[in-house]
Amino acid sequence: MEKLDLAIRGGSVVLPDEVRRMDVGIRAGRIVKLGDIAADEAKEAVDARGLHVMAGMIDVHVHLNEPGLGDWEGFESGSAALAAGGCTAYLDMPLNGIPPTVTVRALERKLAAAKGRSVVDYGCWGGLVPGRLDELEPLAAAGVVGFKAFMSAPGDPSEEAFREVDDATLLEGMKRIARLGKVLALHAESEPIVARLTAEARERLRSRPGGGKFVGGEFRVGTSAADYSATRPVEAELEAVRRALRFARETGCPLHFVHISSAAAVAAIRAAKEEGMDVTLETCPHYLTLTEDDLGRLGSVAKCAPPLRSEAERDRLWEEIRAGRIDMISSDHSPCPTSMKTGDLLEAWGGISGAQSSLELMIDEGVGRRGLTLPQISRLLSSAPAKRFGLYPDKGEIAVGSHADLALVDLSAGYTLEAGDLYYRHKHSPYVGRSFSCRVAATYSRGRLVYRLGEGVFPAVAEEAAGAAGPEGAAGAGQWLRAGGRPVAAPGFRDDRAARGRSL
Ligand SMILES: NC(=O)NC(NC(N)=O)C(=O)[O-]
Ligand SMILES: [Zn+2]
Ligand SMILES: [Zn+2]
């Protein structure tokens, strides 16, 4: 019998329904054995006693900004941060690179930028934007995992940047994406509501030259956290979610709602699921661990859209998680130069740098304080994303036959996150200064050590790096996860369109 390449011994392995002490045997990048492994069975062994062994997180929502905006983030720094956070695969959004991924040519440029430079595996979203409907089919054929549309303005107003959809584009896009068998991911906030409230907030700011206003007896200059949040109320999210669900009901388009921030939106989506619609949703660690008060305290480093909400809303989202009504967790890592995170809250970049902290936050808060189990966390971070986006059974669970994509987590290694711990190109994050009760100790991608605490990120072994080095010299062995075929329908989806006589 050929020897195992690696045995990870003595860890507590997080399986779909239980946590069990066992060894994990790896050969040729896959898990080939779960159970006791003798010392001479493997070429190499890692002592994982005292650690939990989890399936690597699959982050379905990150913005790595290449090509074009590599000075914001890039495949090397972004994927290194993900690896250090226990993430072994990610799906890159069609913005904020230049050009955005809305044509096959742009996808090719993105893939060229990523090739040999990502530490872990990655897939790519294509974009649904006005005027580019005919690009959907070629993009699907080229292997995008699905399409993403913004229902509100994405923040970069420049000519060549990604544009939000109008309703006609959204409706026609859904018809076509349904025919292509892909999922449409939506940033759901109502542009009419947000644009009007933002214009009014700007007007108020201008009419207070050099001045400010009294907030709770305290004189403040500029936009407060409450002012900013009021420009993007829960109603704006709910209206967009409802409209998108209505269009999806008409067109049969599978939907995935990104970064849902309110229990009301979760409830609307749940009702659609109960109707049998093919729809899923994600929320992000920041909506579960931070509130509007943190935005007030931290400033624009914690600015995002939809905005951080109240403590009550955060607690309701945890209830939704506990009840199994939130399908998955993504980071929505939306980095930028730190200089864009200064100035007035209304004008600062909207987006949180969080890719490195998702798994630790979910364990720290979810398991440590909210009574969730590790298998529940693992479903949210790994198996649900893998199943929804066609990566299962290669990825998403610890099972014989799966890729050896693993995060080794120390549940008793408390630490305080410092800016210097971050692998992002720009070392800001609302979690700097936060104390965590656990820490990722090591990450394996297809059986290859890509991160070890205290040692750092290992982009690739020398042979793999040869010929694959990017412009900056470092190389990553992460592979492009080219999508093919139909994704798996959302849990509970009943394909009774034919029975209802609906024509697409
Ligand atoms: N242009 C962006 O990257 N926006 C992102 N920004 C956030 N979420 O604040 C997003 O996903 O909407
Ligand atoms: Zn968004
Ligand atoms: Zn995003």
Cβ(154) – ligand 1 distance below 6 Å: yes
Query: Given ligand 1 and candidates 228, 259, 333, 340, which is best to mutate, with the most ligand atoms within 8 Å of its CB?
Result: 259
Strands 30-34 and 19-27 come out as antiparallel
CA pair distance 193, 195, nearest whole angstrom: 6
Q: Is residue 164 part of a domain?
A: yes
Q: Is residue 411 part of a domain?
A: no
Cβ(305) – ligand 1 distance below 6 Å: yes
Shortest CA distance to 248 belongs to which of 73, 463, 442, 489? 489
**Domains held by the chain: number:** 1
CA pair distance 478, 123, nearest whole angstrom: 10
**Strands of 342-455, DSSP E:** 406-410, 415-416, 435-436, 439-445, 448-452
C-beta of residue 56 within 8 angstroms of C-beta of residue 354: no
* Structural domain range at position 247: 56-189+232-396+416-432
Instruction: Give the CATH number of the domain where residue 61 resides.
Output: 3.20.20.140
Considering the entire predicted model, what is its pTM?
Answer: 0.94
Q: Is 148 flagged in the annotation as binding?
A: yes
Q: Is residue 344 part of a domain?
A: yes
What are residue 62's DSSP bridge partners?
A: 92, 333
| Ligand with minimal distance to 187 CA | 2
CA pair distance 223, 228, nearest whole angstrom: 7
- pLDDT, position 491: 76
ipTM exceeding 0.90? Answer: yes
Q: Is residue 302 part of a domain?
A: yes
Query: Which of these ranges, 81-90, 150-159, 464-473, 477-486, has the smallest mean pLDDT?
Result: 464-473
The answer, yes or no, to whether the previous bond of 99 is cis (omega within 30 of 0) is: yes
Query: Given ligand 1 and candidates 164, 165, 187, 347, which is best to mutate, with the most ligand atoms within 8 Å of its CB?
Result: 187
Q: In whole numbers, what is the pLDDT of the chain averaged over residues?
A: 93
Q: Is residue 121 part of a domain?
A: yes
Strands 328-329 and 45-47 come out as unpaired
User: Model confidence over 407-444: pLDDT tens digits?
Assistant: 999 999 999 999 999 999 999 999 999 999 999 999 99
| Ligand with minimal distance to 332 CA | 3
Q: Is residue 405 part of a domain?
A: no
CA pair distance 378, 440, nearest whole angstrom: 14
Q: Is residue 65 part of a domain?
A: yes
Q: Is residue 452 part of a domain?
A: no
User: Model confidence over 135-194: pLDDT tens digits?
Assistant: 999 999 999 999 999 999 998 888 899 999 999 999 999 999 999 999 999 999 999 999
